[in-house]
Structure 1
Amino acid sequence: MIGWVGLLLALGCIALAQRWHGGSLLTLLDGPAFLIVVGGTLGAVILQTPTRYLKQALIQLGWLFRPERLDMASQALRLEAWALRGRQYGLLALEELSDQESEPFTRKGLTMLVDGVEVEHMRELLEAEITIEQERNEHGARVFESLGGYSPTIGIIGAVMGLIQAMFSLEAPAELGAGIAVAFVATIYGVGLANLFYLPVANRLRTLHYHQALFQEMTLEGLLGIAHGDNATQLRRRLQIYLQGE
């Protein structure tokens, strides 16, 4: 949740600066400008993005509120315990653990281990799984990156529309001011949404994807070590390099 603290901090500083100069926060609220920027940006991204990738992006947005808990240190300890159990009782003794495992990648690897899949074949299958999942996850991040790319440009469109409206109201100062306000507010919305929300969300998702890939790679390395008959100490050495990056 600390990421949302950053967003609140940024918005809070902008609001404070506005009040500091004696301006009203209400001047930053404009329905037409918001509609132009948000609606136009969403429309452009929907046009270019397949539906399945849009759904993936919405699912990943939920990760920011409830991130998947992938504890590298706890996983390393579990792998060491499985290595000890496998050496003592054989790999079939891990079958019960595979049935109870809730993490999908770990469960798949354990199942292969118990089924006696050849080590190199297991490596190929699980590495392919990691690669494909990362590519699938990247599509979600690209949706928010696209939103961040289009938003400032749509903001400029809103600004130009506001100025056009203002030009038709040169003889009515009140309406002229409203048109100019829409122009500037639309620009703020376009740039602000891109740099305070869309692009940070895209980069945050990529950080979560990286952590997931690292977790899966460590799990794969541990399972391969168990398949090779490594003891707990040997396995710990294998996994230590992954834990140093935590």
Structure 2
Amino acid sequence: MDWASVAGIALALGGLLAGQLLEGGHLSSLLQPAAFIIVGVGTVGAVLLQSGMPDFLRGVRMARTVFVAQPDAGAALEQQVITWSSQARREGLLSLERYLNGIRDPFRAKGLRMLVDGIDPFKLKEILEADVDSYERAERRAIKVWDAAGGYAPTVGIIGAVLGLIHVMENLADPAQLGSGIAVAFVATIYGVGLANLVFLPIANKLKSLLAQEVAQREMLIGAFFGIALGDNPRIIQERMSAHRR
């Protein structure tokens, strides 16, 4: 569990609620089902229209990674690559086949498989770079779901506010109906702006950061596979990887 992310969202929402109490307000005044439906359903609909179902579902599934601690596997990966490099230098590239069954990461498995198959080093690099570009584009389309939600939610909140004011104007002759209409109007704006800036946009930015780390790691692996294919000394490959991780 990434406790920093959990604490961040808890502090953001907790600060909002604490401010409401300190101002003498009641938490119940922020609970407006009509406003939540307007903002929530309206934002989801707009994002779904923009992104399409596959990217939308992928983006929603990606959100869990924001709250899962990402272990630093750089040192272990570097050691694994050096093992492959030393083995290939001693016994040839074909000897790396013994490691294939123990690799779960598809990208590493693909690179190692091409080494075993004796693919030309420059062709291997070209294929893996194209693979990384394709992966990054797909991930960015999914992350854009949260960016879009952060952009649409405040606007939908304003629409909710206007709808609430329309309800108020329709019931000017009935003072009992004025309170609920005004509440929906202001709370809808809070929901829209609050969700965008305290939830949607922070999630989008965290996902972008995680993607950048993953892409950097894959680029480091491309350089390592390229070096192994060229027959570079394992120490040289290790130095390149260490420099890439700094």
TM-score > 0.5, shorter chain as reference: yes
Q: Does 1:154 align with 2:156?
A: yes
Give me the whole-angstrom Cα distance separating, in 1, the residues matched to 2:85 and 2:50: 48
Give me the whole-angstrom Cα distance separating, in 1, the residues matched to 2:220 and 2:93: 19
Taking only aligned residues, the RMSD between alpha carbons, in angstroms, comes to 1.5
Quick check: 1:56–1:139 contact (8 Å CA) kept in 2? no
Q: Does 1:110 align with 2:115?
A: no
Give me the whole-angstrom Cα distance separating, in 2, the residues matched to 1:237 and 1:110: 20
Please, which moves more after superposition, 45-54 or 139-148?
A: 45-54
Give me the whole-angstrom Cα distance separating, in 2, the residues matched to 1:37 and 1:61: 19
Structure 1 partner of 2:224: 222
Give me the whole-angstrom Cα distance separating, in 2, the residues matched to 1:22 and 1:49: 41
Q: Does 1:140 align with 2:156?
A: no
Could you state the TM-score of these two structures normalised by the residue count of structure 2?
A: 0.94
How far does the alpha carbon of each residue in 1:157-196 deviate from its partner, in whole angstroms, 9 at most, with x for none?
1001111111122233332122111100000001011111
Please, which moves more after superposition, 81-90 or 27-36?
A: 81-90
Quick check: 1:154–1:190 contact (8 Å CA) kept in 2? yes
Give me the whole-angstrom Cα distance separating, in 2, the residues matched to 1:221 and 1:192: 43
Structure 2 partner of 1:23: 25
Residue 95 of structure 2, aligned match among 90, 93, 110: 93
Give me the whole-angstrom Cα distance separating, in 2, the residues matched to 1:67 and 1:227: 34
Give me the whole-angstrom Cα distance separating, in 2, the residues matched to 1:44 and 1:82: 48
| Unpaired segments ≥5 residues, structure 2 | none
Q: Does 1:56 align with 2:58?
A: yes
**3-state SS of 1:116 partner:** coil
Give the CA deviation at 1:240. Answer: 1.9
Give the CA deviation at 1:48. Answer: 2.2
Q: 1:160 to 1:41 in 2, by over 3 A?
A: same
Identity fraction in percent: 41
Give the CA deviation at 1:69. Answer: 5.0
Letter of the aligned partner of 2:230 in structure 1?
H
Residue 121 of structure 1, aligned match among 81, 105, 123: 123
Aligned residues: 244
Q: 1:202 to 1:43 in 2, by over 3 A?
A: same
Give me the whole-angstrom Cα distance separating, in 1, the residues matched to 2:185 and 2:53: 32
Structure 1 partner of 2:204: 202
Quick check: 1:73–1:243 contact (8 Å CA) kept in 2? no
Runs of at least 4 residues of structure 1 off by over 3 A?
A: 65-70
Quick check: 2:32–2:184 contact (8 Å CA) kept in 1? yes
| Unpaired segments ≥5 residues, structure 1 | none
Could you state the TM-score of these two structures normalised by the residue count of structure 1?
A: 0.94
Residue 167 of structure 2, aligned match among 145, 165, 168: 165
